[in-house]
Structure 1
Amino acid sequence: MAGGAGQSHPQSPHACRRGGTGLLLPTYKRRSRALGRMAVRSEGTNSAALVHFTLVLLLAAAFPAHAEELPADAPVAPAPARRHVWLALGEVTLANTAIWSVNRFIRKTDWSDVNPEVWKRNLTGSFEWDADKFTANQLDHPYHGGIYYNIGRDNGFTYWESGVLTFLGSLQWEVFGENNPPSTNDIINTSLGGLAIGEVLYRLSSMILDNGATGWKRGGLEAAAGLLNPGRGLSRVVRGEAWRVGPTPREWTPRHFSSFARAGYLQEGDAVTGQAGQGQLLVGLSLRYGDPFLDEFHKPFDSFAMDASFITRQAHFLSQAEVQGLLAVTPLVRRPQWQVLLGAYQFYDYVDIGNYQVGSQSFSGSLLYRHVLNGSLDVRATLDLRGVALAALSSDPSETNERGYDYGPGLGATLRAALGSWPWEYVGLEFKASWIRTLDGAPNDHLIQEGRLHADIPVFRELGLGLGGSIQLFRRDSLILDENIGPQANPRFQVFVSWH
């Protein structure tokens, strides 16, 4: 899969080169069992996936906030779309072949030199844990999984069916697209991350498309949606949907949607050494799609939230990103003033703060609570009990891992509470804790914690302007055999102006 580029440690003379399923992405280094390990740190994030991720949020921020009332005779759910199974498989193969051809014949990368002997080895050999950069594995792979995913979604597949296609697309690339052994973490990050990011891209591109438009307007809308969602754009062109006139599905426009931004000053530090980092500018972008308390729920991600923070320091431009999508929900208690729901969520998390890095794919069982105080003012709280399918967590290089981060599954819990008026949270509190068991890396377990207190107070509500700030603390405790390693703690303080 595709890799982020930037500054890295000196390359081992035995290091193999690796690229991936990104268009014209810089190559990066990867471990091969036969060739030994090498040190790889995420010192740069100038990858194509990061550029596109930023574009997604900027385009989505242009959508106006809205809360619509459905007519009484509106259908609760559309008829199932026809599935184009073989066409979807062909489009995934076409995408992989086209990207491999660019890397092999134009960029002439070493890792793309494949042949039947390599394919046989990859088909019969074992999987490995690679040593790619943190950004490549935790950002680029999920993004490219979203391309596979959206080929499936646009060909009539459901959320779960598209997940199967995403896995097959990733496996096809790992076996046939490069001469390195297939990677366990690539398959997991591409498949699960592709589910979360892919469905977000599908929903946002649906809000742009208008099947009834014609002429220049239709062309502009299709181009914008394709730029936002390349996998779906490819599929619509292949099937002729990009110019076919017809009805636009009602479900493409959510009842509740809001995007908002904040800009201000950020100060980071290291609580262990007492050193303060250099102050810098911060830009944050957030999306809220649907509402589990106010909307009917029919399909995964009928309600989701997406948040990202960007800072001016070049080496860590994308500081934090999170996607949380509601997979299923059922009411436990419904009263006029308060509700309790039982739900399930999928999470994609990415944190890159100085030398503290965490990326994970996880699922949860969740309790959701809402109490209406006055009008639209309410108090909300959520308790998530998470199962972490795979987490990448920064650690000191050791004799078993010079990558700079460990891989493993784990368990976690999140507690969130907020006072506000949808979608504006005036005051909120959040605490996360996760235990990670290392499968590849240093022989240790990790306990990671994050606490956050934030406020965003309306100043000119009619203009959507507010003033706010937040205090965050990221902490990692590692238990490594025969070593005494203290905790790592990174506080953050920010003040900002918000626009809703």
Structure 2
Amino acid sequence: MRSERPSRAALAHVATVLLLATVFPSQARGFPADAPLARQEPTVQATGNAALEAAPGCQEPEPPRRHPWLALGEVTAVNTAVWAVNRYIRKRDWAEVSPEVWGRNLTSGFEWDADKFTANQLDHPYHGGIYYNIGRDNGLSYWEAAPLTFLGSLQWEVFGENNPPSANDVINTSIGGLAVGEVLYRLSSMILDNGATGWERGGREVAAGLLNPGRGFSRVVRGEAWRVGPTPREWTPAHFAGFARAGFLQEGAGDAGQEGSGRFVLGLGMRHGDPFLDDFRKPFDSFAVDASFIVRQGHFLGQADAQGLLAVTSLSRRPRWQVLLGAYQFYDFVDIGNYQVGAQSFSGSLLYRHELTGAMDVRAALDLRGVALAAISSIPSETNERGYDYGPGVGVTLRAALGSWPWEYLGVELETSWIHTLDGVVKDHLIHEGRLHADIPVYRGLGLGGSLQLFRRDTLISNERPDPVQTPRFQVFVSWH
């Protein structure tokens, strides 16, 4: 979708999602944020009557019927409504389409558009999440809803605007929509209660619809918003926790000889499920989301990332340690002034956990990533007015932490990626990100901590030395868990 300025709707929605997650969903079905822990694994694996007792009110209904054609019709209706608003109310030039425009778009091939970074890397994944959730609410699985998300994006690119179809839009909307959409689906599930009636039912449906518009629209179309019935047990995760951080951020300017500035920063995040403690069955049964918001002109969301487990199998299991082999999907968004990176990627991952005393443990992960598409800030030129390049790549990430689920007391993350430029300045990029953080418990759910981060980009040009840009960040904060 074309945008003359980045939409603030997706930014506001990210903040709302994470804020609701830290306050409401962790109490949705009576599961404390920190229970059950490592030494209570039998309760997580409970089945039959024991499982129903552990989650009162959560009955298992019949498997949902699939409605793929209804889902496609709803996606078409959403695209038509969005186009009509832009064409007849907002009077956007790019919304003036005709059969001649459609024919040209069907035969002209794809381009790389010049929209702003936030529009392409944040707004498009959010819109893809709407398509995806229409599919999920119509009984489709993660894998089955993926083609619908692609079709919704392609339908808009060809029929919804008079610009040539954009390759980066289709990729960001389709792949990013899977990650953003499944996170919204899981969180809205924690709010919904099919057995509720009256004002409680109405309040839950409205809250879930605001959190997840695609699903809310679909539930109204099919009458599920008011139909009373059993609530699937899978809507209640065995482990869930939200957390928040507030503090002071000192951010480097990224250029030698320039002094950075200090700002207030708010961090929000959540942990849903655990690959070591829970019975993994479906993609995103375990996922994590983190975001930081900074008060400054022109920028609000500084960083956001989501990682969802797609599949996992055990390689080795001992009384006090485990090794797993997993596959993850990653969504990354970094916008800190002159350093911008947005990426859609997948990984094969080795996961390790070693139990210590009590509920404490040490965890580590090694991710080998394949980057489907990354956007990396660069110097604008006559051929690249966007100010950032597009391309695929590969990367490796090392993560390690000491803590007690979901609280990480000490942690380190190191990541290196190589991105091959397909569109933009004719250069490849090396991206390095490092983070060292501490978050020490002080009183009950309160903690004190700090972190040191370094972002570095080396732009590679043949027969020339790398052109590095690096941005250090240091912050101190008070945390709530």
The TM-score normalised by the length of structure 1 is 0.90
> What is the deviation of 1:77?
8.9
Q: Give the number of the structure whose residues are more often helix, by fraction.
A: 2
Name the Cα RMSD after superposition: 1.5
C-alpha spacing 1:299/1:410, structure 2 compared with 1 (3 Å): same
Equivalenced residue count is 459
Over residues 395-432 of structure 1, what are the superposed CA-to-partner deviations in whole Å (9 max), with x where a residue is unaligned? 01234312100000000000000000000000000000
Match of 2:455 among 474, 485, 500: 474
Letter in 1 for 2:352: Y
- Which residue is 1:309 aligned to? 292
* Distance in 2 (alpha carbons) for counterparts of 1:81 and 1:201: 19
Aligned-partner SS, 2:251: strand
* Distance in 1 (alpha carbons) for counterparts of 2:237 and 2:257: 47
Check conservation: 1:307, 1:321, Cα contact below 8 A.
yes
**Equivalent residue runs for 1:182-221 within 5 Å:** 182-221=165-204
* Distance in 2 (alpha carbons) for counterparts of 1:304 and 1:468: 23
- Which residue is 1:110 aligned to? 93
Aligned-partner SS, 1:211: coil
Check conservation: 1:267, 1:276, Cα contact below 8 A.
no
> What is the deviation of 1:277?
1.5
Letter in 2 for 1:87: L
The TM-score normalised by the length of structure 2 is 0.93
* Distance in 2 (alpha carbons) for counterparts of 1:271 and 1:244: 55
Is 348-357 or 271-280 further displaced after alignment? 271-280
> What is the deviation of 1:455?
0.0
- Which residue is 2:35 aligned to? 67
Aligned-partner SS, 2:467: coil
Check conservation: 1:391, 1:407, Cα contact below 8 A.
yes
> What is the deviation of 1:78?
7.5
Match of 1:364 among 337, 347, 368: 347
Check conservation: 1:272, 1:487, Cα contact below 8 A.
no
* Distance in 2 (alpha carbons) for counterparts of 1:357 and 1:79: 46
* Distance in 2 (alpha carbons) for counterparts of 1:484 and 1:390: 25
Check conservation: 2:253, 2:261, Cα contact below 8 A.
no
Aligned-partner SS, 2:256: coil
Structure 1 position 158 matched with structure 2 position 119: no
- Which residue is 2:245 aligned to? 262
* Distance in 2 (alpha carbons) for counterparts of 1:61 and 1:178: 38
Check conservation: 1:467, 1:498, Cα contact below 8 A.
yes
Structure 1 position 419 matched with structure 2 position 410: no
**Equivalent residue runs for 1:424-439 within 5 Å:** 424-439=407-422
**Equivalent residue runs for 1:318-467 within 5 Å:** 318-460=301-443, 462=444, 464-467=445-448
- Which residue is 1:490 aligned to? 471
Over residues 284-323 of structure 1, what are the superposed CA-to-partner deviations in whole Å (9 max), with x where a residue is unaligned? 0010000000000000000000000001113221000000
Letter in 2 for 1:47: R
- Which residue is 1:53 aligned to? 14
Letter in 1 for 2:233: R
Over residues 203-245 of structure 1, what are the superposed CA-to-partner deviations in whole Å (9 max), with x where a residue is unaligned? 0000000000011111110000000000000000000000000
Check conservation: 1:257, 1:289, Cα contact below 8 A.
yes
Over residues 379-401 of structure 1, what are the superposed CA-to-partner deviations in whole Å (9 max), with x where a residue is unaligned? 00000000000000000123431
Aligned-partner SS, 1:439: coil
Q: Which runs of 5+ in 1 are unaligned?
A: 2-17, 20-26, 29-44
> What is the deviation of 1:353?
0.7
Check conservation: 2:7, 2:123, Cα contact below 8 A.
no
> What is the deviation of 1:72?
3.6
> What is the deviation of 1:481?
4.1
* Distance in 1 (alpha carbons) for counterparts of 2:13 and 2:218: 19
* Distance in 2 (alpha carbons) for counterparts of 1:387 and 1:72: 37
Check conservation: 2:61, 2:230, Cα contact below 8 A.
no
Over residues 44-71 of structure 1, what are the superposed CA-to-partner deviations in whole Å (9 max), with x where a residue is unaligned? x552111111111111111332535354
**Equivalent residue runs for 1:244-323 within 5 Å:** 244-270=227-253, 272-323=255-306
Letter in 2 for 1:300: P
* Distance in 2 (alpha carbons) for counterparts of 1:60 and 1:248: 20
Check conservation: 1:77, 1:298, Cα contact below 8 A.
no
Match of 1:224 among 190, 204, 207: 207
> What is the deviation of 1:341?
0.1
Check conservation: 1:66, 1:255, Cα contact below 8 A.
no
* Distance in 2 (alpha carbons) for counterparts of 1:122 and 1:72: 53
Percent identity (aligned): 75
Letter in 1 for 2:425: A
* Distance in 2 (alpha carbons) for counterparts of 1:54 and 1:306: 12
> What is the deviation of 1:164?
0.6
